[in-house]
Structure 1
C-alpha cells in the first residue's frame, strides 16, 4: 500500500521504562499523530501549523494492545499543580493544536481518559514527566528522516517502510502500529503511529 504523503499514525506499544499500571495493564502506547492529516480529518486546528508529529497521548495498555480507558476521576483528578510545575516542557512536548482547547484542557482530558488508569502505581507528576521524557525520545520526524523517509508530496512510502525504520530505532518490531486516513478511494495519508 502506498502513501501519497507522509501522513500516518504509529501506535508504539512498548514499555519505555518499567512502569506498572493497574493489572492487567502492563505497557504504554505512545501515540503520535501527523499534524497535516489530523487537521484534515478533524478540521478544527490552528492555522499554519508546522508539518510534524504531535503527541496524541501516553496510554496504558494490555499485552494485546487494548488501551485502558476511563478508570475514574475519583478524588484525585485535578492535575493543575503537576502541570503547572512542568508547564513549559509539557507545552513543548504536548501542545494542543485544536482551536478552542488550550493545553491545560488537553492534558486534563488525557489524564481523565488514560492517566487515571495508572494512578495506583504512578503519581500524576510521574505520569506527566513520563509523557515529556518519552515524547522527547521519540522524535518521529527525525527518526524517519534518518531512514530517508521525509514528508514530500512527490514521494510515496509503504507501511512497511515506516515500520522498518521505527523497528530499527526501537528494536521492537511487533509493537509498532501505523494508522492511515483515506483521502479518497486510491490515496491514504499517514495519520498516527
Structure 2
C-alpha cells in the first residue's frame, strides 16, 4: 500500500510539472492557435436570461461573431496582455457598420457595441499584437465570418432555424464539409430546459489566415439531438 501511495504521489507531481512546462512553453510561443467563435442569436435570446437589441435595432437572423481568442495546446489561454494598448474607436471607424452587422451585442447593456468590442480587444486582441494590430484584428474576424458562412452551409443541408431538432452529427458534418476541419459545437438550454445550438468554435492558425485542425476539442455536452431556434 505504501508503494502504491508513493506511485500516485510521484505521478501527481509529474503531471503538475508537465502542465507547468506546457504552460510556460505556450507563453514563450505566445499561443498555439486561435479559436474563432460564432453564436446563434436565437439561442442567446431563447433562455431565461433573454436578450436586448442594440441601438441599431434587431439584427438579421444570422450567426454573429462572439470572439477571436488565442489558445494554447494545454487548454490555457493568454488574456489582458497589454493594458497600455486600450481600445481606440478611431481605429475601427471604417469597420463600424460591418461590426454592427456581424459582431453585434445582445446583452442588456448593449448600446452601440462599443463596450463589447472594447472588452474583446482588451481581453483577447491585445495578446495578438505580434500578429494583428487593432484594426486588422477586427477586420480579420469579419473576414473569417464571411469565409465560414455557417448559416448558408446549414441551410444548404436543409438544417434551418425553425425550432426543430436536428442531429448534432449532421450539423457538425455539414459545417466540417464546408470548412474542411473538425469543429466544436456548444449548446445552451432554452427556457424549457431543451438543448439548443448556441456557439460554433472553428480553429484558425497562428497567422489568423487559415482554418486548421484544432489540437483541443472540448467534450461536447449537447446530446445527440439539438434544437435550432428561430430568431
Same fold flag (TM > 0.5): yes
Mapped contact 2:44–2:51 kept (Cα < 8 A): no
Give the TM-score normalised by the residue count of structure 1: 0.76
In the alignment of these two chains, the number of paired residues is 169
Task: Output the CA distance in 2 between the equivalents of 1:76 and 1:92.
Answer: 25
Give the TM-score normalised by the residue count of structure 2: 0.65
Q: How does 1:168-183 map to 2 (within 5 A)?
A: 168-173=177-182, 176-183=183-190
Q: Which runs of 5+ in 2 are unaligned?
A: 1-26, 201-231
Q: Which of structure 1's runs of 4+ aligned residues deviate more than 4 A? A: 47-50
CA deviation after TM superposition for structure 1 residue 111, in Å: 0.7
Which structure has the greater CA radius of gyration?
A: 2
1:91 aligns with 2:97: no
Correspondence for 1:44 among 48, 51, 71? 51
Aligned equivalent of 1:53: 63
- Secondary structure of 2:166 counterpart: coil
Q: Which runs of 5+ in 1 are unaligned?
A: 1-20
Which of structures 1 and 2 has the larger relative contact order (alpha carbons within 8 angstroms, sep 6+)?
1
Q: CA RMSD in A?
A: 2.4
Aligned equivalent of 2:140: 130
The 1:86/1:152 distance shift into structure 2, 3 A limit, reads closer
Aligned equivalent of 1:121: 131
Task: Output the CA distance in 1 between the equivalents of 2:90 and 2:178.
Answer: 35
